[in-house]
Amino acid sequence: MAEPFFQFKKFRVYHSAGGFKVGTDGVLLGAWAPVNDGEHVLDIGTGTGLISLMIAQRARVKMDAIEINPIAAEQAKRNVAHSPFTDITVYNADVAEFVKHGKKYDLVVCNPPFFSNAQAPKDQSLHLAKHTVSLKPADLFHHVKQLLKTDGRFAVIFPKTEYDTFCSAAKSQGFYPKEVLDVFPQPDYPEIRLMVNFTHTELDKPNRRDFCIAQSNERHDYSEEYKKLTKDFFLRF
């Protein structure tokens, strides 16, 4: 049986291992996270390497990606090796240990675990990839504070249900939202995700706007804003 993969315009992501498949959350964050040429970027919990590959396509950056699951880390390394982007280094490491390297980044991105209020999955790969037993929001912000430059940015996506937990953890480490994207599956549906760009600068009011993935519940009836955000990646756009 052929190994499953997802084909993007400029790279291919094999995703048979490690608990994470190519999904909407990773695509959204990879396409949205604010990045500039010449920056040093870290992807925490890279899984298959999707977000790192997307950011490498968007800007000329030096990219580090860390993944605690050794099977996923090996697949991420292979995905990177077969991509046109040569300046991505994948580490099989726990972020708590990785911070000891003393590296500092302009941007840190993370599509973190979010089953904090749900039953942990039985599969160990999924357990490591998605359950907050391995990386709680408070610990995540603590580590990111050590990894970011003073004027650095932390871009993260999380469920609406985790808003209070994440914002409390952020504030405890001196992070404040600069940009917030409220993600809805389609108009008149409840909000499902937030994407937030955190910095150490406290603003009176962050730049906040709504974002719909689809126009209706018809298959592939994507919104124009979703098409615009992802058009450089998806073959269908």
Tell me how far apart the alpha carbons of residues 124 and 31 are, in angstroms, rounded to a whole number: 29
Task: Say if pTM beats, i.e. exceeds, 0.85.
Answer: yes
Mean pLDDT of the 151-157 span: 97
pLDDT at 125: 43
Give residue 3's pLDDT band: very low, low, confident or very high (50, 70, 90).
Answer: confident
Total domains present in the chain: 1
pLDDT at 120: 41
Quick check: 117 pLDDT over 70? Answer: no
User: Using one digit for the tens of pLDDT, what is the confidence trace for 78-115?
Assistant: 999 999 999 999 999 999 999 999 999 999 999 986 54
The residue that leads in pLDDT, 133 or 165, is 165
H-helix or E-strand spanning residue 91: strand 88-92
> Which of these, 75, 16, 17, 84, lies nearest to 49 by C-alpha position?
75
Tokens of 44: 């925490």
pLDDT at 8: 97
pLDDT at 112: 87
Quick check: 195 pLDDT over 80? Answer: yes
pLDDT at 15: 86
Helix axes 163-172 and 137-147, enclosed angle (nearest 10): 40
38-47, 59-68, 120-129, 210-219: segment of lowest average pLDDT = 120-129
Please provide the average confidence, as pLDDT, over all residues in the chain.
90
Question: Percent of the chain, pLDDT > 70?
Answer: 88
Whether residue 207 lies inside any domain: the answer is: yes
Whether residue 16 lies inside any domain: the answer is: no
Instruction: Tell me which amino acid residue 220 is.
Output: H
pLDDT at 97: 95
pLDDT at 133: 41
pLDDT at 18: 52
Tell me how far apart the alpha carbons of residues 182 and 152 are, in angstroms, rounded to a whole number: 22
Give residue 20's pLDDT band: very low, low, confident or very high (50, 70, 90).
Answer: low
Tell me how far apart the alpha carbons of residues 150 and 201 are, in angstroms, rounded to a whole number: 10
User: Using one digit for the tens of pLDDT, what is the confidence trace for 43-75?
Assistant: 999 999 999 999 999 999 999 999 999 999 999
Q: Are 232 and 58 in contact (CB under 8 A)?
A: yes
Whether residue 35 lies inside any domain: the answer is: yes
pLDDT at 2: 66
Tell me how far apart the alpha carbons of residues 50 and 23 are, in angstroms, rounded to a whole number: 9
H-helix or E-strand spanning residue 128: helix 124-130
User: Domain containing 56: what range?
Assistant: 30-230
| CATH code, domain carrying 87 | 3.40.50.150
pLDDT at 226: 98
